[in-house]
Amino acid sequence: MTNAAFPDAIILACWPSEDPLLKLLEADRTLISMGDKPMLQRVLERLIDLGCMRIAVIHGNQREKSEELLGDGERWGCKITHHNADQGSRPLRPLARLGGPRAAADDSNCMLATADTVALTELSLTRPSVACSLEVGELQWSGWAVLPGKAIRSLAETAQNRRDLGRRIVAALDLSESRQLITTTISTASVAATLDSLPRLFALPPGAQGISRRARAEGVWIGNGSRVHPSARLRPPVFIGQNVLVAENAEVGPNAMVGDGCIIDIGSRIEGSMLLPDTYVGQKLEVARSMLAGNQLVNARLGVAVRIPDPEFLRDIKRSGQSGHRVSLTQRALAAILWLVLVPLGVLRWLKLGGGTRRAPVSIGIPGPIPGVFRECEVRLAMTHEDVQRARQGAWHQHFFSTFLPGLADVVAGKVALVGLQPRSARDILSLPYYWQRLYGKAPIGLVSEALLHGSGSATFATSRAAAPFAAGRLPLLRVVRVLGRYAVRVMTEVFTSKPRDTGTSRKTASHSSP
C-alpha cells in the first residue's frame, strides 16, 4: 500500500470479546476455526473474493498470532499492512492516518469488516452499503460496511468500541446515502452467534465461503489422522478435525464441529455444539448447544458457563501434557522428605524378615527419542495394581513395601513421579489405544496413580480411563498431597483392620486392561 491511497478494506481485530461466556473459554474469537479455516482467514478470503487487494488490519493486544497467520498478504495474492489500535477512548484513531495526508481528501469507498464475522450478502466497492440484521425488531450492524473514506475517518475519531461504532454507522446511514442490507452472517463474536453459524456454514457450497476440505460422505467431513469407531454414529452435517478420536457408541451431530486433537469417549453425544481443540469429553456425556474448551462448558441455550474439574467428564488434553515426561522438582523434593521419614519402617521390616529377598529391577516404558516409540527403563517397582484392584488380602501393605517405599529413590532420581500414570511396560503401552499412548508420551509414570486408588472393588473400566488424562497434567502440590493422603488411609486401614499376608518377595503382575 502506498501513502497516496486509502486501503480497499480494513479488518478490525482490535477489540476483545464483549460476550462474557466466550471470555470464560479463553479463546481468541478471531482464530476460532470454523470448519477448516480460522475465522480471520475466512474474513480475509471473503474480502479478496469481493475484489479488495489492499487491506489494512487494526490489531489490539494479541497481534502476534494474527500477523503470523496473515503475513504481508503475498501468500493470499494481496497486500496487507498491520497497525496497532490506540490506547484509551479512541482506539480507531490509526484509521485517520491511513493513506497519509495525500489521501485526506480521498472520497473513494472502503470496505470495513470485523475480524470475527463474515457477511454472506454480496457487497461492492462501487456503492456505499451497510450490512445489518434485525435483532428483536431493532436494526443492528452486522460488522461489515462499504463507506467513503471520509466517513470512516470521521467515525474513527469518535468510536470508543465495537458497539459504539455499530450505533454510529447505523445512525449515519441516511447521511452517507448508504443502502441498508439485511444479511445473515457467519460469526464467532459470541457463543450464541458461533453455534447459530454452524448450520449456515455447513449449508454453504465449497470454496472461499464454505468448507474447502473434501467431504467423506454427504455432510460429513473427517480430518487426517482421525479415527471413528465402527459403532459410533456421525449424523450430518458434522465436521471432525484432525487427530480426533470418536470412541464406541458415541454420537456426533447434527450441526456439530469437533476441533483438532479432541477425544469423544464411549457413549457420549454431541449435538449442535462446538468442541475447541484438545478437549476430552468423558463417557456418556450429553452435550447440546454448547461450546467446550478444556474443562469449561458454556451452554448457550441456558446462558451459563460451568467449570467441570472432574477429569471423568471434561479435560484439556493439550494442557494435560504441558509438564512433559519430566518429574517436577516439587515431587522429587517431597519424595526425598518422605524417604527420610519412612526409611526406618523399611529397615524394621527388613530385619523382621531376616534380610528379605533382593528384588530384581522392573522395567517400565518411557518415551524414546522418536515420538511414538517407548523404551524400557529399570526401576525399583513391583507392579501390584492388579492385586490391589482385585482386593487381595494384604495388597495395600504389599504395595507400600514393594513399590512405594523402594520407589521413592526412583522419584528422587527423576525416573518416576510420586503421582502419575499407572506403571506399564513398553509393550503394554504400545498395546493401548493411540490416544492413551499420547498421554504416556507426555507424562511420567507414578508410584501412586488415580487408577490404583480406584481399587478395592471400586475400580471400573470407565473410572480407570478417566483417571489417566487427569494424572497426565502438572499436578499442583496440594493435589499430590491429597492423593498421597488417600493412599496412606488405604494402607493404614488395611494394617489396622486385618493381618496382612506378606510373602517377603515381590510379585510382578500383568497390567490390567484399563489405562
Burial of 296 (0-12, 13-18, 19+ CB in 10 A): buried
Tell me if 414 is assigned to some domain.
yes
Total domains present in the chain: 3
Tell me if 197 is assigned to some domain.
no
Q: Do residues 307 and 333 share a domain?
A: no
Which pLDDT score is estimated for 503?
37
40-44, 95-99, 448-452, 475-479 — most confident range:
40-44
- Out of 58-67, 73-82, 214-223, least confident range: 58-67
Tell which wins on pLDDT, 467 or 274.
274
Tell me if 390 is assigned to some domain.
yes
Tell me if 199 is assigned to some domain.
no
Among 299, 319, 339, the domain-final residue is 319
Q: Do residues 314 and 421 share a domain?
A: no
Tell which wins on pLDDT, 457 or 428.
428
Tell which wins on pLDDT, 36 or 316.
36
- HSE-up of 76 (CA within 13 Å, CB side)? 24
Q: Do residues 335 and 315 share a domain?
A: no
Task: For residue range 272-331, list pLDDT tens digits in order.
Answer: 999 999 888 888 888 999 999 877 888 887 777 777 766 666 766 655 544 456 777 888
Which pLDDT score is estimated for 86?
82
Secondary element (H or E) of residue 489: helix 477-497
Tell which wins on pLDDT, 494 or 244.
244
CA nearest to 314, candidates 340, 342, 289, 291: 291
Q: Do residues 381 and 431 share a domain?
A: yes
Decide if pLDDT at 458 tops 70: no
C-alpha cell at 496: 489396622
Strand partners, 59: 13, 84
Residue-averaged pLDDT of the chain = 78
Decide if pLDDT at 386 tops 70: no
Are the beta carbons of 132 and 183 closer than 8 angstroms?
A: yes
CATH number at residue 93: 3.90.550.10
pLDDT range class, residue 245, cuts 50, 70, 90: confident
Decide if pLDDT at 270 tops 60: yes
Which pLDDT score is estimated for 459?
42
Q: Do residues 340 and 489 share a domain?
A: yes
Q: Do residues 436 and 287 share a domain?
A: no
The pLDDT of 356-385, averaged and rounded, is: 69
Decide if pLDDT at 208 tops 90: no
Q: Do residues 35 and 119 share a domain?
A: yes
Tell me if 477 is assigned to some domain.
yes
Tell me if 507 is assigned to some domain.
no
| Helix residue ranges, H only, 99-172 | 149-158, 162-171
Which pLDDT score is estimated for 456?
44
Are the beta carbons of 385 and 423 closer than 8 angstroms?
A: yes
Containing structural domain, residue 384: 329-497
Q: Do residues 351 and 297 share a domain?
A: no
The pLDDT of 332-353, averaged and rounded, is: 77
Phi, psi for 484 (deg, rounded to 5): -65, -35
pLDDT range class, residue 46, cuts 50, 70, 90: very high
Q: Do residues 161 and 98 share a domain?
A: yes
Q: In terms of DSSP bridges, do strands 245-246 and 263-264 run parallel, antiparallel, or are they unpaired? A: parallel
Q: Do residues 344 and 315 share a domain?
A: no
Q: Do residues 306 and 424 share a domain?
A: no
Q: Do residues 395 and 444 share a domain?
A: yes
Decide if pLDDT at 105 tops 80: no
Q: pTM of the entire structure?
A: 0.65
Task: For residue range 120-167, list pLDDT tens digits in order.
Answer: 888 888 888 888 887 766 778 888 989 888 888 888 777 888 888 888
Tell me if 236 is assigned to some domain.
yes
Tell which wins on pLDDT, 56 or 466.
56
Tell me if 224 is assigned to some domain.
yes
